Structure 1
Amino acid sequence: MSLIYGPTIKSLSGHPLPSWFDDAKFGIFIHWGLYSIPAFAPLGAHPDPMAPDMMRSNRYAEWYENTLKFDDSNTASFHRTHYGDAPYSDFAKPFEAAAAALPVADWADAFRDSGARYVTLVTKHHDGYLLWPSRHPNPFRSGWQSPTDVVSKVASAVRAAGLRFGTYYSGGLDWTFNPDRVDNLAAMFASMPHDDGYDDYCRDHYLELIANYQPDYLWNDIGFPTEASMLEVCAAHYNANADGLVNDRWLAARDLLDGSDADRTARMRAMFGYLKQHRVPPPAHYDVITPEYAPAATSFEKKWEATRGIGSSFGYNRQEADTDLMSADAILRQLVDCVAHGGNLLLNVGPRGDGTLCPMQVERLQAVGAWLKINGDAIYGTRPWIVAAARAEDGRNVRFTTRGSDVYAIALDCGTEPLSFDHGGPLTGITWKLLPGSGACSPTVYVRS
């Protein structure tokens, strides 16, 4: 195989966004790890991201190990009650037992039936535990990786179901390399390891993931030790998979954290401007922007993908009841809103500690899939129309998509009444007809006649 891309910004910038990703619109994120065994985080709205101790009440169950370091946190109280003084590492044994009998076929069936077109699996979260038996083991925690190749199992199952496969990897945080407690967002970025040893470790893991599993999507999180290694990884990915892509969370830790105090302060201030947009500062190269738990869709300067959990956490949280989760209608409204503004939706599913899917989450996936089976023409393969959003004369909120000569109007609210607008401009004089079969559940889809 001849190498097409080199590890330079100029070379990588010639890589086009794969059409499959822009056509897919809907993907599934999987957070399953040691944190899925205790499966605990406090409920409620996410804390103020600017609060100095916001991580004390972190709603993300996958951050369990860090939240446990706050002695007065709800997580620490839960841990003392259920596990006494057992260390977080004790969760490896029951996790590995579950991994050996992982029902990946059930996962793949549920994700295919949801109407998703791709799946992204967490292969290493911030606790540093690897979901594959790597040739580059953790230097600080012996055996800190799954003996069962979870990545291979999931990749094979979802591809057999006709879905694309991507890998998430936490390049910015690894609590085995820096175990200091993270109190807030500024401390999170300041704690990113970026020495040569960690740089090599992350790069080698990515090259191994590329060689072993040929992922279609590299989804890095928080940041990456150095820009040079990030560019090397991107080039290797594109050369191995012409239809591959990378997200935007590759901020070079060394560039952010090295230099004078004044330089670091200025960079941090600039970074918080991006965090207010629910995203991170863009790296030297990327294909897609990934805002997290953004309250509403908006248009970005290039392709984007909203990501969030069905509830308030990515990892499974045993505390979440049915009322704590998004309804299927709410998921669909967010999907439609994203697509109308040029984005995708990467919706997270958090399997339980034993590897089974939570029935409440599956129920929602089934409802989303049923809607997409009827109304998918207005979603898959579409692009934003000249108008993204408008309010109909009857008050319904409407989003628009287009594919070829067809234009779709998708009413986010219930109702199958005739659709009309009093806005002038591109909406003037258009007659809309109900898409055959639509209207059984909201959102309701109309097509320009």
Structure 2
Amino acid sequence: MPVKSNPIPWTRRSFLSAAAASAGATGLPTAAHAAAAPFQPNWDSLVDGYRTPEWFRDAKFGIWAHWSAQCVPEMGDWYARHMYIQGNWQYEHHLKTYGHPADVGFMEMNNRWKAENWDPEALLDLYAKAGAKYFVALANHHDNFDNYDSKYHAWNSVRIGPKRDLIGIWAKAARARGLRFGVSNHSAHAWHWFQTAYGYDAEGPRAGQRYDAFRLTKADGKGKWWEGLDPQDLYTGRNIVMPEGFRTARAANAWHDENTRYWDEKPPLQNPAFTRQWFLRCRDLIDSYRPDLVYFDNSGLPLGQAGLDITAHYYNASMAWHGGRLEAVVNAKQLPAERRPGIVEDVERGFREGIEPLPWQTDTCLGDWHYNRGIFNNHGYKPASTVIHRLCDIVSKNGNLLLSVPVRGDGSIDADERKIVEDIGAWMARNGEAIHGTRPWRVYGEGPTRVAGGMFSEGNSQPLTAEDIRFTRKGGALYAIAMGWPKDGLLRIQTLAEDSNVAPGSIDRVEAVGSSDALPFKRTRRGLEVKLPEGLAGAPAVTVKISGAGVA
């Protein structure tokens, strides 16, 4: 049963009063006095007042460092949760490598995380060369650890593990290279996601013995590396504790799947302190580092009213930083259509089927979100060609691509990842003109391959081929990007046939992007046929620039 942590009802008035009391002397607008600011903490105000800033619409491509102590074991996603689920392969790895989770809990991974080979400037040089125009760093994950100099949470990277302000260092390196800087905040789910740490083995030699989160208190840290810290602040307290009586791991795990894994965006009613603390930590993150983008790993905004409060605060703060100009982007997922104008919707590992009227974003990863050694050993990352094809498809439909490049616990990336990023950069060096600063054309493209829409749809989509073409536009020119090299070197674009309703005017000139030389072309009722230069053969995608009244 959940523990009753506060008998006082947590109303909206008391929440904002507490926020005002702890606002400090930042001089920036806060949700506590939103009435005097342009944005109010409600959906009507966000929808009516927000416009996606041009920097984001122009950027098109960002790279993300989804990096936390969960990368230390190099065992992939959600290690901090799964290491407490008996029978899970990550539980078995933890047992064999580090010890039983009753003795060695996930908090010990934070102490093992040293980031000893981290070179943020070299990584940002690589990402900027790859054509990224914004960079996003993970500020905290569901494991509830802050990767910055957090004023309201002692479990942070300055005090523990790396002993450095990771977000501050990332921000400085990104901005020195002309990149916009963003942060991702995932910790609103920690109050239920991390409750596996309060469980126990349902079977085996240590059946019934509770894991570390259940038994550890601040007093237990005396003389240890975590002296002065309270493990309950990290593990979030006993919110949804696994009841006694399970005798099989299967039954216990089914209980966790039903009760602690759900993607509930509502605040925990019996732990209002968690919501208050989340708000303060997030506001501190925004005010201290002034990000251009805040990514919430949430369906809609996190934690009910708290999410609206922090978004209004962020928008108002951005206007204060930029002389009244709103430069802020907030990402969240699975929004109803009527709320999409208020923030920039993110589609995790997915696509859209057609051109969206509002800017949007896909986030995906070369492999697992947290570093997985097995993917590297098996050379299982997405190849550069796949990333480039997805980027072109997304941009043609008014979207951006945020690509996660998994980072090892030591702060480095592996040889396969580096080669993929370099290959993306080689393509972008020639073809970036057709990506950056563009807007959708009249249609997104043509071709036989089905692209499934929606969250997690990338696994249901077929690979794009040379017959699939995507369009973008900029400065009166149309860019046509073929997802491969045509077999005979002849690019055929049916959409631009001489009797086309989409492009009824003339086509005067065609050239390969990256060259000012005109290419021979012929326009018939079957389409526009362009003879491509042999030097482009083998490219993952081939781009031509088309001029004329018919495409302007």
Give the alignment's TM-score, normalised by structure 2.
0.66
| CA 301–144 in structure 1, closer or farther in 2 if over 3 Å, else same | farther
Q: How far 1:427 moved relative to its partner?
A: 4.9
Seen in structure 2, the aligned counterparts of structure 1 residues 179 and 346 have a Cα distance that, compared at 3 Å, is farther
Tell me how far apart the structure 1 counterparts of residues 400 and 73 of structure 2 sit (CA, whole Å): 31
Highest Rg: 1 or 2?
2
1:106 matched residue in structure 2:
122
What is aligned with 2:531? none
In structure 2, the partner of 1:115 is 131
- SS of residue in 2 equivalent to 1:6: coil
Listed one character per residue, the Cα deviations across residues 303-348 of structure 1 (whole Å, up to 9, x for unaligned) are 211111112x111111103631111111100000000111110000
Q: Contact 1:169/1:219 (CA < 8 Å) preserved in 2?
A: yes
Q: Please state if 1:375 is matched with 2:431.
A: yes
1:445 aligns with 2:480: no
Inter-partner Cα distance in structure 2 for 1:6 and 1:165: 25
**Distance in 2 of aligned mates of 1:397 and 1:136:** 51
Q: How big is each residue's C-alpha offset from its partner over 1:211-257, in whole Å with a ceiling of 9 and x where there is no partner? A: 110000011112555433222212221222220111124xxxxxxxx
Deviation (angstroms), 1:132: 1.2
Instruction: Check the 8 A contact 2:83/2:90 in 1, yes or no.
Output: yes
Corresponding position: 1:417 with 2:432: no
Contact 1:134 1:145 (8 Å CA) reproduced: no
Asked if 2 retains the 8 angstrom alpha-carbon contact of 1:128 and 1:144, the reply is no
SS at match of 1:306: strand
Amino acid at match of 2:108: D
Give the equivalent residue in structure 1 for 2:404: 348
Match of 2:343 in 1: 287
Aligned partner of 1:78 among 88, 93, 109? 93
Give how far 1:412 is off. 0.5
The CA distance in 1 between the partners of 2:313 and 2:275, in whole Å, is 16
Alignment of 1:40-189 (within 5 A): 40=75, 61-85=76-100, 86-95=104-113, 97-98=114-115, 102-137=118-153, 147-174=163-190, 175=194, 176-177=235-236, 178=239, 182-183=256-257, 187-189=261-263
Q: Deviations over 1:166-207 (max 9, x none)?
A: 110114311222576752799422486534212211111121
2:41 matched to which residue of 1? 7
1:30 aligns with 2:65: yes
C-alpha spacing 1:283/1:236, structure 2 compared with 1 (3 Å) = farther
How far apart in 2 are the matches of 1:418 and 1:214? 46
The answer as to whether partners of 2:391 and 2:401 remain within 8 angstroms in 1 is yes
Q: Do the aligned partners of 1:418 and 1:433 also contact (CA within 8 Å) in 2?
A: no
Once residues 446 and 272 of structure 2 are traced to their aligned partners in structure 1, the CA distance between those partners, rounded to angstroms, is 52
Aligned partners of 1:172, 1:115: CA distance in 2, in Å? 32
Residue of 353, 370, 384 corresponding to 1:315 = 370
Partner of 1:328 in structure 2? 384
In the alignment, structure 1 segments of 5+ residues that lack a partner are 41-60, 250-278
Letter in 2 for 1:88: F
Give the aligned partner of residue 312 of structure 2.
235
Cα deviation, residue 280, structure 1: 5.8
**Alignment size in residue pairs:** 394
Which amino acid is 1:436 matched to? G
**Unaligned stretches of 5+ residues in structure 2:** 1-27, 30-36, 195-234, 242-252, 319-325, 449-464, 516-534, 548-552
Deviations 1:405-447 (A, max 9, x none): 1001100122342434276432567564432358251200011
Q: 1:117 to 1:390 in 2, by over 3 A?
A: same
Aligned counterparts of 2:331 and 2:380: Cα–Cα separation in 1 = 29
- From the superposition, tell whether residues 123 and 62 of structure 1 become closer, same or farther in structure 2 (CA, over 3 Å): farther
Q: Is the 8 A contact 2:355 2:443 kept in 1?
A: no
Question: For the residues of structure 2 that align with 1:69 and 1:111, how far apart are their CA atoms?
Answer: 35
2:111–2:161 CA contact under 8 A, matched in 1: no
- Quick one: distance in 2 between partners of 1:346 and 1:123? 16
**Contact 1:129/1:145 (<8 A) preserved:** no
Contact 1:332 1:368 in 2 (8 A): yes
The worse-fitting range, judged by mean Cα deviation, of 17-26 and 349-358 is 349-358
Structure 2 counterpart of 1:412, one-letter code: M
Q: Does 1:434 align with 2:507?
A: no
Counterpart residue type for residue 109 of structure 2:
F
Question: Is the CA contact 1:408–1:445 (under 8 Å) kept in the aligned structure 2?
Answer: yes
Contact kept in structure 2, 1:199 and 1:225, CA below 8 Å: no
Alpha carbon RMSD of aligned pairs, Å?
2.9
Q: Is the 8 A contact 2:435 2:472 kept in 1?
A: yes
- Of stretches 409-418 and 279-288 in structure 1, the one that deviates more from structure 2 is 279-288
Q: Is the 8 A contact 1:291 1:305 kept in 2?
A: yes
| Cα offset, 1:138, TM superposition | 5.6
Output the CA distance in 2 between the equivalents of 1:196 and 1:214.
Answer: 27
Residues in 1 aligned to 2:259 and 2:60: alpha-carbon distance in whole angstroms: 30
Q: Distance in 1 between matches of 2:259 and 2:540?
A: 37
The one-character-per-residue Cα deviations of 1:334-370 (angstroms, maximum 9, x if unpaired) are 0000001111100001111111122211111111111
User: Using the alignment, how far apart are the partners of 1:163 and 1:199 within structure 2?
Assistant: 32
Of stretches 166-175 and 6-15 in structure 1, the one that deviates more from structure 2 is 6-15
Amino acid at match of 1:21: F
| Distance of 1:341 and 1:171 partners within structure 2 | 31
Judge conservation of contact 1:305–1:345 (CA < 8 Å) in 2: yes
The aligned residue for residue 49 of structure 1 is: none
Q: In structure 1, how many angstroms separate the alpha carbons of the residues matched to 2:479 and 2:95? A: 54
Equivalent-residue separation in structure 2 for 1:172 and 1:151 (angstroms): 18
